[in-house]
Amino acid sequence: MAKLTINGREVEAPDGAPLVEVIKNAGIFISNLCYVDGLPPYAGCRTCVVEIEGMRGVQLACTTRVADGMVVRTDGEEAKRMRQAALSLIMSYHSDRCLTCHRIVKCKPGDTCLRDGVVTHRCLTCSKNYRCELQTTCEMLEMAGYEPWEGEERTYYTTPQPEPDRANPFLEFDPQMCIICTRCVRVCDEVRHTGAITLAGRFNPRIEFGAGGPVHESNCDFCGSCIDVCPTATLMEHPNKWAAMQTERWVPTACTWCSVGCSIFLGIKGGRGVIVKPDTAGNPFSRDQLCVRGRFHYDFVRPHQRLQRPLLLRDGARQEVSWEEALEYAASRLAEIREAHGPQAIGFLGSPLMTNEENYLLAKLARAVVGSPNLDSTAGPVARAALEAVREAFGTPVLPADLTRVPKARTLLVVAEDLESSHNVASVRVKDAVIREGARLIVVSPRYGELCDFATVWLQPRPGQEAAVLVSLLRSLARDGGAAPGLPEALPDPEPEGVEAGELARAADILREAVRDQSWRPLAFVYALPYLAPEHVRATAAALCGLAVLCLGDEAPSCLYVLPQEANVWGMLDVGVAPDLLPGYREAGSPADQGDMERLWGTPVAGGPGSDVWHMLQDAGGRLRALVVMGDNPLFFLPDRQRVEEALARLEFLCVIDSLDTATARLAHLVLPDSGPYSKEGTTTSADRRVLRLHVAASPAGESRPAWAILRDLSLRLAQRLGLGEVRLNYARVAEVMDELAEVVTLYRHARYQELDNGSQQSWDGLSPRAARVPTLRLPANGHGDGHLLLTSRGLYTSYEAAALGLEDADRLHREESLEMNPADAAALGIGPGDLVRVANDRGELVLPAKLTYGAAQGTVHLPLHYRGGAALSLFGPGEPAASVRLSRA
C-alpha cells in the first residue's frame, strides 16, 4: 500500500495503481475523457493533468502510477488552465454551443438558440443531455465562456457531418458527436474481445464498425459495453433512448436469461423499464459486462402484451374473471380431482425461469398440501442427469466451483454447443483467460461458436458424440499410468466420429501438460448443458467428471463448472422441484428424509418418488388428471411436440401460472397471470450458486400478481377445503418464504434477504464434496438413421418471452432465422445462400432460408432453438441430441 496526499488529503492506495483511478476512488473529480478503468492508458485527451510535487510541469494522471509519499494537486491553476485548453480542443470538433453557454440552465429543448441560428445539434436537443460525461466535464472545468476561438470560423459547423446509423434495433451510432477518445474501440477489443470497432483513417480519424459499413453488418454482438463507456451521445441504446433521459430510479436486480446471472440496474420511468446498466459492484463475475439479452430483452415484451387478468375457459371460450373466482375455481377443481382420483392424479411443473421462493412454494403445494410427488419441470431431466454424474463422482450434487476463477485459468476445456450464445458473459471470461493469461483452450462442440476462434484445439464431433470425445481423452491420459478411484481397468475406446486423431492427441497433450506443469494451471472444465437428451448429458457429465478427477484428484470439484441453460435450474432443484428429490436434496423415498420434511412442515408429506415430466405426460388423461404449470412451457421446451400437445389436451384440468400467453397457456382451462421477472421480488441461484436478488422494478401488468402470492392464495384455499390445519401457508411478504426456506434447505441457511443484502451467500454445510472418483462411464448408442442431423441450441439474440408469444420480431436482428448448413452439403443439394430449404422427417417439416457456413460440419445442419416458438423441437424425438432430417430445396 502507498500513502499519498491528494489536495492535502491523505489517501491510501495499492502501490502502482493508476493515479487517475485513485483520485476518482477518493471521491475527487478529475476529468479523464479517454481513460477506461482497468485498461492501459491511452493518453489521448490530455484532460487528466495534475501537478505532482517534485516533478516538473504537469503530469497525466492516467499514465502516472502512485507511489508512497506522492503529493498530488488537482486544483492548481496551471493544471486547470491546461485542462481547459485540452478540453477546448476537443470541443472544437464537437457541438459545443451549449457547453460554453451561461444560459443552459434556462434553455428548453424547444427554444431557439440565442447564440447561433444553425445549431441543431446541441445539448438541449441531445438524448444524452444531463447524463453526459463530456457535458459534466465541461461544467466541472468551468468552460462556460471559455472560447479561445471566438470569431474564428469553426470547421465543425461548416463541414458536412456524417449521417447517424440507426439501422439496427439496439445501438445508435451518431459519428457527428464523437470526440475520438477511442474508449469504445478499446473496450470492444480488450474487454469484450470482439473487435467490432476500429479507428479508421489517418488524416481524418473516425470511428467505424466492421469493414466500414453499418453496425449490424459488423461482428458487433450488441453487448452495449461501448455505450457504457462512450462519454458523448455517439453510442446510445436505441430502445427508449429519449425516455431513459427521465429515468426516475434505478432498481438493482438480476438478468434471468441464462444461468450466468448477471447483475443489472433497471432504470424505471413511469413504472416501466427504460434502460439497463450493469451493476458493476454487485456481481464479482459479470462486473461491468452484460450481453444483448441482459441489456435489451427487458424491452421485447411490453406490459400490455403480458397477461393482465385471470382467464377461464368456459364453453370453449376464454373469459376474463376476477381473482376471487379464478382462485376458487382452481381450488375447487383440484379438490374435486383429488377426491375422485387421489392426490397422485395431480401433477406439477415448476420452472427455472421462476424464483427459488416460487419453486419452493410449488413443491410445498404438491407434496404437503395436495400430497402428490408428481413434480418436475421440462428443464428437470437434463439437469438431473448431469447431477447424477456429479453426485456419483463427488458424493454431492452441489459443486463448489466459483466462476470468478475462470478468467484466471491457464488451461480450459469447454464442452458446449455454442457458449458465446448460450452463456455469453461466461464466454467473455473464458476469452479473458485466453487473451490475458495466455491460457490454452480446448473446445468440444459439434458446431462453430465464436469461442472456437479462441481455441487452441477445437474438437468437432458429430452431434451426440461429445461423451465419446471426453472418454477418448480420458483413455489417453490414463495410458500414462494416471490413477484415480473408480477408474475402470478397461476403458471404452469410442473413436468419436468427425474428430481427427491428431487433434485429439493435441488436446490430450494440453491436458497432460496442465497436470504435469504447475504453470499451466489452474485448470477449468466447463460444461454448458444442452436442452436435450438426458442420457447423453449424463454420459458427457460423467466423462467430464472423470477427466477432472484424473487430472486434479480431490481438487476436481472446485474446477468443474456445470452451467445449466436457464437462469434458476440449480435453485429449482435445491428447493425440491423434482420427482425424486425433497427440498435440500433430501431423497424422495427415504423414510428418514420424509420424516425430516414432515417435522419441518408440520404435516404429512408425500415423500415417495413421483413421475417425471415425461411420465406425467404419458399418464395424462389416465392416472394423471390435472396439471399445474408454473412458468414452464412444455410446448416450447419439449421435443416430440405432437405427443406433448395431445397429452396436454387429455387433461381434465390444466392450470397455468405465467406472465405470458404461451402455447401451453393457450391450452389451459385456467390461466393465472404472474407478474413476470421484472416485477417481482425473490431470488434465483446462478450456475456457480450465487443467490441473486430480484427486486420489483417495473409495475406489474394489469391485475397480475407474483407467482409466489398466487401459490400462497391457492394453497390456502386448497388447504381449507382439504381441512389441513398445521401447515404454514400464509406469508405476508416473500421474505418470509425465504426465512422458511433458510430453515428447510441448509444451502440457503444464510440467504435470508437481510443477510443477502449484506453479501452473504450459499453455505454448503453437509453438501460439500465427499469424494472424487471417476463415475460409471456409459456411452449411449447413436442410433441415427440416414440423412442429415439437425442440431438445435440457444441463440444469442432471440428473446424467449417474445418467442413464447410468437411475436414476429422475437429476433429483432433477424440473425437467427435461417438454417445453418455446410456449403458442400448445400452445393450437393443445389442450394444457394438464402434459398429456401425444406427440413423434414416423419414428425413434420419446416421451410426456411439457408445460411451457408463452414461452422456446420458436413452432414449436420443447425437451427436456433427459439426460432418460431421452438419450432425445431417439433422434429425431435424424446432423448435425441439431434434429429435425422431430409433436406431439399423448397
Residues near another protein (CB under 8 A):
182, 185-186, 189-190, 193-203, 208-212, 218-219, 434-435, 441, 448, 452-456, 458, 823, 826, 832-833, 851-855
CB nearer ligand FES, residue 47 or residue 685: 47
Distances (CA, A) of 123 to 89, 108, 136, 608: 18, 10, 11, 67
Report, in Å, the least distance between residue 430 CB and another protein.
Answer: 12
420 grid coordinates: 458465446
Q: Which does 171 bind (CB under 5 to 8 A by kind): another protein, ligand SF4, ligand FES, none?
A: ligand SF4
Distance, in Å, from the CA atom of 417 to the CA atom of 790, rounded to the nearest integer, reads 13
By CB under 6 A, what part of segment 57-96 binds ligand FES?
Answer: 60, 62
Report, in Å, the least distance between residue 25 CB and ligand SF4.
Answer: 22
Asked if 780 and 389 count as a contact pair (C-beta separation under 8 A), the reply is no
183 grid coordinates: 474508449
236 grid coordinates: 446510445
CB nearer ligand SF4, residue 128 or residue 752: 128
Residues in contact with ligand FES, counted by CB under 6 A, come to a total of: 13
Report, in Å, the least distance between residue 788 CB and another protein.
Answer: 17
- Residue 592 touching ligand FES (CB under 6 A): no
286 grid coordinates: 459479470
Distance, in Å, from the CA atom of 688 to the CA atom of 261, rounded to the nearest integer, reads 9
259 grid coordinates: 444461468
CB atoms within 10 A of CB 32: 24
Report, in Å, the least distance between residue 123 CB and ligand FES.
Answer: 21
Q: Which does 424 bind (CB under 5 to 8 A by kind): another protein, ligand FES, ligand SF4, none?
A: ligand SF4
Vertex 562 angle, CA 773 and 353, to 5°: 140
Strands (E), 377-500: 411-415, 440-444, 457-459
Q: Which does 605 bind (CB under 5 to 8 A by kind): ligand FES, ligand SF4, another protein, none?
A: none
Report, in Å, the least distance between residue 172 CB and ligand SF4.
Answer: 11
Strands (E), 602-662: 626-630, 653-658
Contacts of 821 (CB under 8 A, 6+ apart): 788, 831, 837, 850, 851, 852, 853, 856, 861, 862, 887
Distances (CA, A) of 612 to 582, 724, 876, 880: 14, 26, 19, 17
Report, in Å, the least distance between residue 82 CB and ligand FES.
Answer: 11
Give backbone dihedrals phi and psi of 318, rounded to 5 degrees, phi first.
-90, 135
* DSSP state for residue 494 in the 8-state scheme: -
Residue showing cell 427521465: 246
Q: Which does 62 bind (CB under 5 to 8 A by kind): ligand SF4, another protein, ligand FES, none?
A: ligand FES
Report CA Rg, the chain. 29
Report, in Å, the least distance between residue 562 CB and another protein.
Answer: 25
Three-class DSSP category at 701? coil
Q: Kindly list the residues in this chain that would bind ligand SF4 in the complex (CB under 6 A).
A: 94-95, 98-99, 122-123, 126, 128-129, 132, 134-135, 171, 177-184, 187-188, 192, 194, 196-197, 207, 220-226, 229-235, 255, 257-258, 260-262, 286, 290-291, 293-294, 423-425
Q: Which does 800 bind (CB under 5 to 8 A by kind): another protein, ligand SF4, ligand FES, none?
A: none
CB nearer another protein, residue 270 or residue 834: 834
Give the residue from 528, 598, 576 showing the smallest Cα distance to 356: 576
Asked if 48 and 60 count as a contact pair (C-beta separation under 8 A), the reply is yes
CB nearer another protein, residue 201 or residue 766: 201
Contacts of 842 (CB under 8 A, 6+ apart): none
CB nearer ligand FES, residue 60 or residue 416: 60
Q: Which does 45 bind (CB under 5 to 8 A by kind): ligand FES, another protein, ligand SF4, none?
A: ligand FES
Report, in Å, the least distance between residue 220 CB and another protein.
Answer: 9
Find the binder of ligand FES among 6, 19, 34, 711 (CB under 6 A). Answer: 34
- Residue 472 touching ligand FES (CB under 6 A): no
CB nearer another protein, residue 345 or residue 826: 826
CB nearer ligand SF4, residue 130 or residue 854: 130
Residue showing cell 459545443: 96
Distance, in Å, from the CA atom of 324 to the CA atom of 318, rounded to the nearest integer, reads 17
CB nearer another protein, residue 208 or residue 566: 208
Stretch that binds ligand FES, among 37-45, 463-471, 614-622, 843-851 (CB under 6 A): 37-45
Exposed, middle or buried: residue 57 (CB in 10 Å: 0-12, 13-18, 19+)? exposed
CB nearer ligand SF4, residue 285 or residue 601: 285
- Residue 48 touching ligand FES (CB under 6 A): yes
Residue nearest to ligand SF4 (CB): 294
Report, in Å, the least distance between residue 230 CB and ligand FES.
Answer: 14
Distance, in Å, from the CA atom of 407 to the CA atom of 400, rounded to the nearest integer, reads 17
Report, in Å, the least distance between residue 19 CB and ligand FES.
Answer: 10
Beta bridge partners of 255: none
Report, in Å, the least distance between residue 63 CB and ligand FES.
Answer: 7
Q: Which does 524 bind (CB under 5 to 8 A by kind): ligand FES, ligand SF4, another protein, none?
A: none
CB nearer ligand SF4, residue 290 or residue 311: 290
Please give the span between the terminal C-alpha atoms of the chain, in angstroms, as a whole number.
69
**Pairing label, strands 71-73, 523-528:** unpaired
- Residue 301 touching ligand FES (CB under 6 A): no
Q: How far is CA 624 from the centre of its chain?
A: 35
Find the binder of ligand FES among 9, 12, 15, 43 (CB under 6 A). Answer: 43
Report, in Å, the least distance between residue 187 CB and ligand FES.
Answer: 14
Report, in Å, the least distance between residue 503 CB and another protein.
Answer: 9
Stretch that binds ligand FES, among 34-42, 431-439, 656-664, 849-857 (CB under 6 A): 34-42
Distance, in Å, from the CA atom of 91 to the CA atom of 516, rounded to the nearest integer, reads 57
Asked if 381 and 493 count as a contact pair (C-beta separation under 8 A), the reply is no
Amino acid found at 451: L
Report, in Å, the least distance between residue 122 CB and ligand SF4.
Answer: 6
Q: Which does 202 bind (CB under 5 to 8 A by kind): ligand SF4, another protein, ligand FES, none?
A: another protein
Q: Which does 203 bind (CB under 5 to 8 A by kind): another protein, ligand FES, ligand SF4, none?
A: another protein
SS (H, E, C) 750-783: CCCHHHHHCCCCCCCCCCCCCCCCCCCCCCCCCC
Report, in Å, the least distance between residue 217 CB and another protein.
Answer: 9
- Residue 45 touching ligand FES (CB under 6 A): yes
Contacts of 204 (CB under 8 A, 6+ apart): none
Q: Which does 707 bind (CB under 5 to 8 A by kind): another protein, ligand FES, ligand SF4, none?
A: none
- Residue 47 touching ligand FES (CB under 6 A): yes
Residue showing cell 462556460: 144
- Residue 33 touching ligand FES (CB under 6 A): yes
- Residue 173 touching ligand FES (CB under 6 A): no
14 grid coordinates: 495499492
Report, in Å, the least distance between residue 192 CB and another protein.
Answer: 9
Distance, in Å, from the CA atom of 512 to the CA atom of 560, rounded to the nearest integer, reads 17
Report, in Å, the least distance between residue 352 CB and ligand SF4.
Answer: 12
CB nearer another protein, residue 170 or residue 653: 170
* DSSP state for residue 312 in the 8-state scheme: E
Residues that bind ligand FES (CB under 6 A): 32-35, 41, 43-48, 60, 62
